[in-house]
Structure 1
Amino acid sequence: MASRTSTLKFFSLLIYPPKVFMVLKATLAEFPALNGQSVSYAVLEFPSGTTNPPHAHPRSAELLVLIEGTLEVGFVDTKNNLFTQNLQAGDLFVFPKGLVHFQYNADSQNPALAISAFGSASAGTVSIPTTLFATNIDDNVLALSFKTDVPTIQKLKAGLALEP
Protein backbone atom coordinates (compact mmCIF):
# COMPACT_ATOMS: atom_id res chain seq x y z
CA MET A 1 0.00 0.00 0.00
CA ALA A 2 1.34 3.40 -0.96
CA SER A 3 1.74 6.04 1.71
CA ARG A 4 0.72 9.63 1.11
CA THR A 5 1.63 12.65 3.18
CA SER A 6 -1.00 15.37 3.23
CA THR A 7 0.50 18.83 3.10
CA LEU A 8 -2.98 20.34 3.19
CA LYS A 9 -3.84 19.22 6.72
CA PHE A 10 -0.58 19.98 8.54
CA PHE A 11 0.73 23.35 9.70
CA SER A 12 3.65 24.05 12.02
CA LEU A 13 4.07 27.16 14.16
CA LEU A 14 7.63 27.97 15.09
CA ILE A 15 7.65 29.05 18.73
CA TYR A 16 10.70 30.76 20.14
CA PRO A 17 11.18 33.38 22.85
CA PRO A 18 10.77 36.72 21.04
CA LYS A 19 12.01 40.07 22.30
CA VAL A 20 8.76 41.78 21.27
CA PHE A 21 5.11 40.73 21.34
CA MET A 22 4.45 38.19 18.58
CA VAL A 23 1.36 36.57 17.10
CA LEU A 24 1.86 33.34 15.18
CA LYS A 25 -1.34 32.75 13.22
CA ALA A 26 -2.91 29.68 11.66
CA THR A 27 -5.71 31.25 9.62
CA LEU A 28 -6.97 30.60 6.11
CA ALA A 29 -4.23 32.89 4.75
CA GLU A 30 -1.43 30.80 6.28
CA PHE A 31 -3.11 27.38 6.20
CA PRO A 32 -5.41 26.76 3.19
CA ALA A 33 -6.76 23.52 4.71
CA LEU A 34 -8.93 25.73 6.93
CA ASN A 35 -11.09 26.70 3.94
CA GLY A 36 -14.71 26.00 4.92
CA GLN A 37 -13.78 24.78 8.41
CA SER A 38 -14.89 27.84 10.46
CA VAL A 39 -11.91 27.58 12.80
CA SER A 40 -8.46 29.13 13.24
CA TYR A 41 -6.07 29.89 16.05
CA ALA A 42 -3.09 31.96 17.07
CA VAL A 43 -0.20 31.58 19.48
CA LEU A 44 0.47 34.82 21.37
CA GLU A 45 3.91 35.31 22.89
CA PHE A 46 4.28 38.14 25.41
CA PRO A 47 7.76 39.00 26.69
CA SER A 48 7.57 40.79 30.04
CA GLY A 49 5.99 44.23 29.88
CA THR A 50 4.44 43.84 26.43
CA THR A 51 0.92 44.29 25.14
CA ASN A 52 -1.33 43.17 22.34
CA PRO A 53 -2.74 46.65 21.61
CA PRO A 54 -6.48 47.31 21.47
CA HIS A 55 -7.98 45.55 18.47
CA ALA A 56 -11.14 43.77 17.28
CA HIS A 57 -12.02 40.69 15.23
CA PRO A 58 -14.98 41.57 12.98
CA ARG A 59 -15.83 37.99 11.98
CA SER A 60 -15.39 35.97 15.18
CA ALA A 61 -15.31 35.81 18.94
CA GLU A 62 -11.96 34.83 20.49
CA LEU A 63 -11.39 32.19 23.16
CA LEU A 64 -8.01 32.73 24.83
CA VAL A 65 -6.36 30.15 27.08
CA LEU A 66 -3.31 31.25 29.05
CA ILE A 67 -0.64 28.54 28.98
CA GLU A 68 2.13 30.24 30.94
CA GLY A 69 2.60 33.44 32.94
CA THR A 70 -0.01 36.08 33.79
CA LEU A 71 -2.01 38.50 31.64
CA GLU A 72 -4.30 41.43 32.25
CA VAL A 73 -7.07 41.24 29.65
CA GLY A 74 -10.14 43.26 28.89
CA PHE A 75 -12.77 44.34 26.41
CA VAL A 76 -15.15 47.25 25.98
CA ASP A 77 -18.81 46.47 25.26
CA THR A 78 -21.18 48.46 23.04
CA LYS A 79 -22.20 50.66 26.01
CA ASN A 80 -18.55 51.59 26.72
CA ASN A 81 -18.33 49.36 29.80
CA LEU A 82 -14.83 48.01 30.42
CA PHE A 83 -14.57 44.37 31.53
CA THR A 84 -11.15 43.25 32.80
CA GLN A 85 -9.64 40.16 34.35
CA ASN A 86 -6.23 39.09 35.63
CA LEU A 87 -5.47 35.66 34.18
CA GLN A 88 -3.21 32.92 35.55
CA ALA A 89 -1.92 29.90 33.63
CA GLY A 90 -4.86 27.61 32.83
CA ASP A 91 -7.48 30.38 32.75
CA LEU A 92 -9.81 30.97 29.80
CA PHE A 93 -11.29 34.28 28.65
CA VAL A 94 -13.81 35.08 25.89
CA PHE A 95 -13.63 38.26 23.82
CA PRO A 96 -17.01 38.77 22.09
CA LYS A 97 -17.11 39.11 18.31
CA GLY A 98 -16.36 42.60 17.03
CA LEU A 99 -15.59 44.22 20.40
CA VAL A 100 -12.37 46.12 21.10
CA HIS A 101 -10.11 44.15 23.45
CA PHE A 102 -6.50 43.88 24.63
CA GLN A 103 -4.01 41.73 26.53
CA TYR A 104 -1.10 42.99 28.67
CA ASN A 105 1.75 41.16 30.39
CA ALA A 106 2.42 43.46 33.35
CA ASP A 107 4.97 41.05 34.85
CA SER A 108 8.38 42.74 34.64
CA GLN A 109 10.29 39.44 34.93
CA ASN A 110 8.37 36.65 33.20
CA PRO A 111 6.95 36.06 29.73
CA ALA A 112 3.42 34.87 29.04
CA LEU A 113 2.19 32.41 26.42
CA ALA A 114 -1.42 32.11 25.27
CA ILE A 115 -3.38 30.35 22.55
CA SER A 116 -6.46 31.91 20.99
CA ALA A 117 -9.13 30.03 19.07
CA PHE A 118 -11.52 31.67 16.62
CA GLY A 119 -14.85 30.53 15.18
CA SER A 120 -13.81 31.56 11.68
CA ALA A 121 -11.01 30.56 9.34
CA SER A 122 -10.55 34.29 8.76
CA ALA A 123 -11.52 36.22 11.91
CA GLY A 124 -9.79 39.40 10.73
CA THR A 125 -7.94 41.82 12.98
CA VAL A 126 -8.53 45.56 13.16
CA SER A 127 -5.73 47.19 15.17
CA ILE A 128 -7.10 50.37 16.73
CA PRO A 129 -3.78 52.28 16.98
CA THR A 130 -2.75 51.32 13.44
CA THR A 131 -6.19 52.03 11.98
CA LEU A 132 -6.28 55.50 13.51
CA PHE A 133 -2.67 56.67 13.41
CA ALA A 134 -0.87 54.70 10.69
CA THR A 135 -3.30 55.54 7.89
CA ASN A 136 -4.00 58.73 6.00
CA ILE A 137 -6.76 60.09 8.22
CA ASP A 138 -6.24 63.85 8.24
CA ASP A 139 -4.37 65.13 11.30
CA ASN A 140 -7.01 67.82 11.85
CA VAL A 141 -9.80 65.23 11.94
CA LEU A 142 -7.90 63.20 14.54
CA ALA A 143 -6.96 66.27 16.59
CA LEU A 144 -10.59 67.40 16.73
CA SER A 145 -11.82 63.87 17.50
CA PHE A 146 -9.39 63.42 20.40
CA LYS A 147 -9.68 67.03 21.58
CA THR A 148 -5.96 67.65 21.20
CA ASP A 149 -3.64 69.44 18.78
CA VAL A 150 -2.04 68.41 15.49
CA PRO A 151 1.52 68.13 16.93
CA THR A 152 0.26 65.53 19.45
CA ILE A 153 -1.36 63.56 16.62
CA GLN A 154 1.86 63.74 14.62
CA LYS A 155 3.83 62.38 17.60
CA LEU A 156 1.42 59.45 17.87
CA LYS A 157 1.72 58.79 14.15
CA ALA A 158 5.52 58.94 14.29
CA GLY A 159 5.54 56.31 17.03
CA LEU A 160 3.57 53.93 14.82
CA ALA A 161 5.45 54.56 11.58
CA LEU A 162 6.56 51.39 9.86
CA GLU A 163 10.31 50.94 9.72
CA PRO A 164 11.74 50.76 6.19
Structure 2
Amino acid sequence: MKSLSFLASLSLLALTFQFAIAADPSQVQDFCVAVNSPVNGVYVNGKFCKDPALATANDFFFTGLGQPKPTNNTLGSSATFGNVDNVPGLNTLGLSFARGDFAVNGLVPPHYHPRASEVVLAAQGTLLVGFIASDQRLFMKTLNAGDVFVIPQGLIHFAANVGHVPAVVFVAMSSQNPGTIFVADNVFGSNPPITPALLAKVFQLNITTIMELQAKF
Protein backbone atom coordinates (compact mmCIF):
# COMPACT_ATOMS: atom_id res chain seq x y z
CA MET A 1 0.00 0.00 0.00
CA LYS A 2 2.88 2.33 0.86
CA SER A 3 4.43 1.51 -2.49
CA LEU A 4 1.20 2.38 -4.30
CA SER A 5 0.92 5.65 -2.37
CA PHE A 6 4.52 6.53 -3.26
CA LEU A 7 3.91 5.82 -6.96
CA ALA A 8 0.73 7.90 -6.93
CA SER A 9 2.58 10.79 -5.29
CA LEU A 10 5.41 10.50 -7.81
CA SER A 11 2.95 10.53 -10.72
CA LEU A 12 1.19 13.61 -9.33
CA LEU A 13 4.53 15.35 -8.89
CA ALA A 14 5.52 14.57 -12.48
CA LEU A 15 2.18 15.84 -13.78
CA THR A 16 2.49 19.04 -11.74
CA PHE A 17 6.01 19.58 -13.11
CA GLN A 18 4.71 19.16 -16.68
CA PHE A 19 2.10 21.86 -16.13
CA ALA A 20 4.64 24.12 -14.46
CA ILE A 21 7.04 24.10 -17.42
CA ALA A 22 4.23 24.42 -20.02
CA ALA A 23 3.40 28.02 -19.08
CA ASP A 24 5.30 31.30 -19.21
CA PRO A 25 7.20 32.00 -15.99
CA SER A 26 5.60 34.43 -13.58
CA GLN A 27 7.08 37.91 -13.46
CA VAL A 28 9.23 38.65 -10.44
CA GLN A 29 9.22 42.41 -10.99
CA ASP A 30 6.67 44.97 -12.14
CA PHE A 31 8.13 45.44 -15.62
CA CYS A 32 11.19 44.84 -17.77
CA VAL A 33 11.54 47.80 -20.14
CA ALA A 34 13.57 46.78 -23.20
CA VAL A 35 16.80 48.48 -24.20
CA ASN A 36 19.22 47.57 -26.97
CA SER A 37 22.36 48.11 -24.92
CA PRO A 38 23.77 45.73 -22.31
CA VAL A 39 25.02 48.65 -20.20
CA ASN A 40 23.39 48.30 -16.78
CA GLY A 41 20.94 45.85 -18.33
CA VAL A 42 19.91 42.23 -17.92
CA TYR A 43 19.24 40.06 -20.99
CA VAL A 44 15.67 38.67 -20.89
CA ASN A 45 13.81 36.93 -23.71
CA GLY A 46 15.64 38.59 -26.61
CA LYS A 47 16.04 42.05 -25.07
CA PHE A 48 18.08 43.78 -22.40
CA CYS A 49 16.08 45.30 -19.56
CA LYS A 50 16.91 48.73 -18.26
CA ASP A 51 17.21 49.50 -14.58
CA PRO A 52 13.56 49.76 -13.35
CA ALA A 53 14.48 52.97 -11.52
CA LEU A 54 15.21 54.59 -14.90
CA ALA A 55 11.86 53.66 -16.51
CA THR A 56 9.55 56.51 -17.54
CA ALA A 57 5.96 56.81 -18.73
CA ASN A 58 7.24 57.16 -22.30
CA ASP A 59 8.44 53.54 -22.17
CA PHE A 60 4.78 52.48 -22.00
CA PHE A 61 3.36 55.06 -24.41
CA PHE A 62 2.55 54.91 -28.14
CA THR A 63 0.95 57.44 -30.44
CA GLY A 64 -0.15 56.87 -34.02
CA LEU A 65 -3.15 54.55 -33.93
CA GLY A 66 -5.37 57.55 -34.54
CA GLN A 67 -3.75 58.30 -37.89
CA PRO A 68 -4.56 56.25 -41.03
CA LYS A 69 -1.79 55.00 -43.26
CA PRO A 70 -1.92 55.18 -47.08
CA THR A 71 -3.61 52.22 -48.73
CA ASN A 72 -2.69 52.97 -52.34
CA ASN A 73 -0.77 49.73 -52.80
CA THR A 74 -1.38 46.38 -54.49
CA LEU A 75 -3.39 44.95 -51.59
CA GLY A 76 -5.20 48.16 -50.66
CA SER A 77 -4.28 47.85 -46.98
CA SER A 78 -1.66 48.96 -44.48
CA ALA A 79 -0.82 48.36 -40.82
CA THR A 80 0.56 50.38 -37.92
CA PHE A 81 2.21 48.16 -35.30
CA GLY A 82 2.86 48.67 -31.61
CA ASN A 83 5.30 46.06 -30.36
CA VAL A 84 8.36 45.70 -28.18
CA ASP A 85 10.49 47.52 -30.76
CA ASN A 86 8.56 50.79 -30.46
CA VAL A 87 6.90 50.32 -27.05
CA PRO A 88 9.76 48.97 -24.92
CA GLY A 89 7.51 48.59 -21.88
CA LEU A 90 5.79 45.66 -23.65
CA ASN A 91 8.88 43.53 -23.10
CA THR A 92 8.00 40.25 -21.25
CA LEU A 93 4.30 41.20 -21.05
CA GLY A 94 3.21 38.98 -23.95
CA LEU A 95 1.27 41.74 -25.69
CA SER A 96 1.34 43.75 -28.92
CA PHE A 97 -1.23 45.68 -30.94
CA ALA A 98 -1.91 47.16 -34.36
CA ARG A 99 -4.18 49.29 -36.48
CA GLY A 100 -5.22 48.08 -39.93
CA ASP A 101 -6.46 50.40 -42.67
CA PHE A 102 -8.36 49.06 -45.70
CA ALA A 103 -9.31 50.83 -48.90
CA VAL A 104 -12.53 49.77 -50.60
CA ASN A 105 -11.86 46.17 -51.79
CA GLY A 106 -8.61 46.18 -49.80
CA LEU A 107 -7.47 43.03 -48.03
CA VAL A 108 -4.84 41.33 -45.89
CA PRO A 109 -3.97 38.03 -47.62
CA PRO A 110 -3.88 34.64 -45.83
CA HIS A 111 -1.20 34.62 -43.15
CA TYR A 112 -0.60 33.38 -39.62
CA HIS A 113 1.15 34.37 -36.41
CA PRO A 114 3.20 31.47 -35.02
CA ARG A 115 3.43 32.96 -31.54
CA ALA A 116 0.12 34.74 -30.90
CA SER A 117 -3.64 34.56 -30.80
CA GLU A 118 -5.38 37.67 -32.08
CA VAL A 119 -8.43 39.76 -31.19
CA VAL A 120 -9.82 41.90 -34.03
CA LEU A 121 -12.07 44.89 -33.28
CA ALA A 122 -13.81 46.51 -36.25
CA ALA A 123 -13.81 50.28 -35.76
CA GLN A 124 -15.10 51.49 -39.14
CA GLY A 125 -16.64 49.99 -42.26
CA THR A 126 -17.53 46.37 -43.02
CA LEU A 127 -14.97 43.58 -43.11
CA LEU A 128 -15.02 39.88 -43.86
CA VAL A 129 -12.69 38.13 -41.40
CA GLY A 130 -12.00 34.42 -41.12
CA PHE A 131 -9.60 31.66 -40.14
CA ILE A 132 -9.09 28.04 -41.20
CA ALA A 133 -8.81 25.30 -38.57
CA SER A 134 -6.42 22.35 -38.83
CA ASP A 135 -9.31 20.16 -40.08
CA GLN A 136 -9.83 22.65 -42.97
CA ARG A 137 -13.03 24.13 -41.53
CA LEU A 138 -13.51 27.81 -42.35
CA PHE A 139 -14.74 30.09 -39.54
CA MET A 140 -15.81 33.43 -41.02
CA LYS A 141 -17.88 36.45 -40.00
CA THR A 142 -18.79 39.83 -41.43
CA LEU A 143 -17.80 42.54 -38.94
CA ASN A 144 -19.33 45.96 -38.58
CA ALA A 145 -18.15 48.76 -36.29
CA GLY A 146 -18.01 47.49 -32.72
CA ASP A 147 -17.84 43.78 -33.63
CA VAL A 148 -15.02 41.56 -32.38
CA PHE A 149 -13.56 38.35 -33.82
CA VAL A 150 -11.02 36.06 -32.17
CA ILE A 151 -8.33 34.20 -34.17
CA PRO A 152 -6.54 31.31 -32.44
CA GLN A 153 -2.75 31.13 -32.43
CA GLY A 154 -0.99 29.70 -35.47
CA LEU A 155 -4.06 29.42 -37.73
CA ILE A 156 -4.20 30.88 -41.25
CA HIS A 157 -6.51 33.89 -41.40
CA PHE A 158 -7.43 36.84 -43.61
CA ALA A 159 -9.45 40.06 -43.70
CA ALA A 160 -11.10 41.95 -46.56
CA ASN A 161 -13.09 45.16 -46.86
CA VAL A 162 -16.46 44.15 -48.30
CA GLY A 163 -18.15 47.52 -47.74
CA HIS A 164 -18.44 50.68 -49.77
CA VAL A 165 -16.25 52.91 -47.58
CA PRO A 166 -12.73 52.57 -46.14
CA ALA A 167 -12.48 50.26 -43.13
CA VAL A 168 -10.40 50.28 -39.95
CA VAL A 169 -9.62 47.55 -37.42
CA PHE A 170 -7.70 47.52 -34.16
CA VAL A 171 -5.91 44.32 -33.19
CA ALA A 172 -4.44 42.94 -29.95
CA MET A 173 -2.07 39.95 -29.98
CA SER A 174 -0.85 37.69 -27.19
CA SER A 175 2.88 38.10 -27.87
CA GLN A 176 5.36 40.96 -27.82
CA ASN A 177 6.70 39.51 -31.09
CA PRO A 178 3.91 37.51 -32.82
CA GLY A 179 5.70 36.93 -36.13
CA THR A 180 3.77 37.19 -39.40
CA ILE A 181 4.07 34.59 -42.15
CA PHE A 182 2.21 35.30 -45.40
CA VAL A 183 1.34 32.01 -47.05
CA ALA A 184 1.72 32.97 -50.71
CA ASP A 185 4.82 35.11 -50.15
CA ASN A 186 6.62 32.32 -48.30
CA VAL A 187 5.57 29.48 -50.60
CA PHE A 188 6.16 31.24 -53.93
CA GLY A 189 8.80 33.72 -52.79
CA SER A 190 11.12 31.48 -50.78
CA ASN A 191 14.88 31.93 -51.17
CA PRO A 192 16.05 29.75 -52.81
CA PRO A 193 12.82 28.92 -54.66
CA ILE A 194 11.00 25.67 -53.99
CA THR A 195 11.31 23.32 -56.98
CA PRO A 196 8.50 24.30 -59.42
CA ALA A 197 7.72 20.65 -60.20
CA LEU A 198 7.08 20.00 -56.51
CA LEU A 199 4.74 22.97 -56.17
CA ALA A 200 3.00 22.03 -59.42
CA LYS A 201 2.17 18.63 -57.92
CA VAL A 202 1.06 20.12 -54.59
CA PHE A 203 -1.25 22.74 -56.11
CA GLN A 204 -2.25 20.62 -59.14
CA LEU A 205 -1.09 23.31 -61.55
CA ASN A 206 1.29 23.21 -64.49
CA ILE A 207 4.93 24.13 -63.99
CA THR A 208 4.64 27.25 -66.17
CA THR A 209 1.94 28.66 -63.90
CA ILE A 210 4.04 27.94 -60.82
CA MET A 211 7.04 29.70 -62.34
CA GLU A 212 4.86 32.71 -63.18
CA LEU A 213 3.68 32.85 -59.56
CA GLN A 214 7.24 32.59 -58.28
CA ALA A 215 8.26 35.46 -60.54
CA LYS A 216 5.50 37.64 -59.03
CA PHE A 217 6.69 37.02 -55.47
What range describes the TM-score normalised by the shorter chain of this pair?
0.7 to 0.9
Query: Is residue 132 from structure 1 mapped to residue 187 from structure 2 by the alignment?
Result: yes
User: After the TM superposition, which parts of structure 1 deviate over 4 Å for at least 4 consecutive aligned residues?
Assistant: none
Q: In 1, are the aligned partners of 2:95 and 2:176 still within 8 Å (CA)? A: yes
SS of 1:43's equivalent in the other structure is strand
In structure 2, give the amino acid aligned to 1:27: N
Query: What SS does the corresponding residue of 1:8 show, helix, strand or coil?
Result: helix
User: 1 or 2, which has the higher strand percentage?
Assistant: 1
Q: Within the alignment, does 1:41 sit opposite 2:97 as a pair?
A: yes
SS at match of 1:45: strand
Aligned length: 156
Paired residue secondary structure (1:90): coil
Whole-Å Cα distance in 2 between the matches of residues 65 and 16 of structure 1?
Answer: 16
Between the aligned partners of 2:57 and 2:69, the Cα distance in structure 1 is: 29
Alignment match, 1:90:
146
RMSD (Å) for aligned C-alpha atoms: 1.7
1:114-133 equivalences in 2 (<5 Å): 114-133=169-188
Q: Could you tell me which amino acid in structure 2 is paired with residue 10 of structure 1?
A: F
Matches for 1:5-154 after TM superposition, within 5 Å: 6-13=57-64, 15-18=67-70, 19=72, 20-107=76-163, 109-135=164-190, 136-154=193-211
Instruction: Decide whether the 8 Å contact of 2:128 with 2:143 is kept in 1.
Output: yes
Pair member with larger Rg: 2
Q: Distance in 2 between matches of 1:89 and 1:56?
A: 24
Aligned counterparts of 2:101 and 2:216: Cα–Cα separation in 1 = 22
CA distance in 2, matches of 1:100, 1:131: 13
Code of the aligned partner of 2:209 = T
Q: Percent identity?
A: 34
How far off is 1:6 after superposition?
Answer: 4.1
Using the alignment, how far apart are the partners of 1:66 and 1:75 within structure 2?
A: 16
- Structure 1 unaligned regions, length at least 5: none
Whole-Å separation in 2 of the counterparts to 1:28 and 1:5: 15
- Greater RCO between the two (CA within 8 Å, min separation 6)? 1
> Which deviates more, 6-15 or 81-90?
6-15
TM-score, with length taken from structure 1 = 0.88
Cα distance between partner residues in 1 of 2:87 and 2:69: 23
- Runs of 5+ consecutive residues of structure 2 not aligned to the other structure: 1-54
Structure 1 residue 9: Cα displacement? 2.0
CA positional deviation for 1:156: 1.7
